[in-house]
């Protein structure tokens, strides 16, 4: 079976070179604001879904929380495991499959770590898995890019020189996806990677949440948790609870 784009790209060291600006300071800023808003109990258990190299998980753990990070990328989890302790654990795991049930007080899916799958069914399956992992009063925070702004301001072609590598990046909207093609040469070898993320709108998320048993409590438009503006906001951040229905 052929590997999906996210299995190849997220396992590549070049992914981290291209996105080197995703720094700890930004991660800590978001976590501080979310904790201030949600006021999780000091004994809370937190699940970081698609945790990458663990920058959010590590900071939450430093705040004293019991944190579990999951990610599909073997290289990301291998890197993250150096930070493990009694209250911080990392697992190589597909977000669509259940790992814990009724265990977490808070689940986080941050920095557009969703929208990768081909079918609505798989996205609903993932969300249902998030729901099952949460305690009855648990909350889900899902942070996505603001599709409307991205599409309106799409840069079709750009070049980025990072660490001596010329990344050529082409973007387009096709079949309901925002597709980014990344090509470059390094050490006399050519590379081609792709990102394909669903162009989910606000109403698309409302539908997905309803189908998976979540109810939107709040939504925000940036990491300062300001109000969402479809035209201006960079992010679309949802805070959801399990619905009674």
pLDDT of residue 53: 93
Structure confidence by residue, pLDDT tens digits, 209-244: 999 999 999 999 999 999 999 999 999 999 999 987
Taking CA atoms, 7 is separated from 52, 63, 77, in Å, by: 12, 31, 13
Ranges of H-type helices in 39-119? 55-62, 74-80
Question: Is there a single domain that holds both residue 123 and residue 208?
Answer: yes
Structure confidence by residue, pLDDT tens digits, 128-154: 999 999 999 999 999 999 999 999 999
Separation of CA 73 from chain center? 13
Number of structural domains in the chain: 2
Question: Is there a single domain that holds both residue 188 and residue 205?
Answer: no
pLDDT band per the 50, 70, 90 thresholds, residue 2: low
Question: Is there a single domain that holds both residue 160 and residue 84?
Answer: no
Question: Is there a single domain that holds both residue 57 and residue 129?
Answer: yes
Structure confidence by residue, pLDDT tens digits, 73-84: 999 999 999 999
Domain span including residue 80:
5-146+200-242
User: What's the CATH code of the domain at 86?
Assistant: 3.40.50.150
Residue 245 has pLDDT above 60, yes or no: no
When pLDDT is averaged across residues 106-112 and rounded to a whole number, the result is 96
Token reading at 63:
């705040």
Structure confidence by residue, pLDDT tens digits, 185-201: 999 999 999 999 999 99
Report the residue count for the chain: 245
**What strand order describes the sheet that includes 88-92?**
88-92, 66-71, 45-49, 104-109, 134-145, 235-242, 214-220
Question: Is there a single domain that holds both residue 156 and residue 204?
Answer: no
């Amino acid at each position: 079976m052929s590997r999906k784009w996210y299995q190849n790209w997220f396992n590549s060291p070049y992914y981290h070179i291209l996105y080197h600006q995703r720094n700890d300071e930004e991660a800590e800023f978001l976590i501080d604001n979310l904790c201030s808003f949600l006021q999780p109990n000091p004994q809370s258990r937190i699940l970081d879904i698609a945790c990458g190299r663990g920058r959010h998980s590590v900071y939450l753990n430093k705040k004293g929380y019991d944190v579990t990070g999951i990610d599909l990328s073997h290289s990301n989890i291998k890197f993250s495991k150096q930070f493990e302790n009694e209250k911080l654990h990392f697992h190589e795991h597909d977000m669509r499959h259940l790992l814990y049930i009724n265990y977490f007080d808070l689940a986080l899916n941050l920095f557009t770590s969703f929208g990768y799958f081909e079918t609505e069914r798989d996205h609903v399956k993932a969300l249902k898995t998030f729901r099952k992992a949460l305690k009855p009063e648990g909350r889900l925070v899902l942070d996505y890019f603001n599709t409307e702004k991205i599409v309106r301001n799409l840069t079709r072609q750009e070049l980025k020189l990072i660490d001596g590598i010329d990344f050529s990046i082409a973007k387009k909207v096709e079949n309901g996806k925002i597709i980014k093609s990344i090509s470059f040469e390094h050490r006399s070898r050519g590379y081609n990677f792709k990102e394909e993320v669903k162009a989910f709108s606000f109403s698309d998320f409302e539908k997905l949440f309803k189908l998976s048993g979540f109810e939107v409590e709040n939504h925000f438009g940036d990491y300062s948790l300001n109000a969402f503006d479809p035209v201006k906001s960079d992010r679309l951040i949802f805070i959801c609870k399990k619905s009674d229905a």
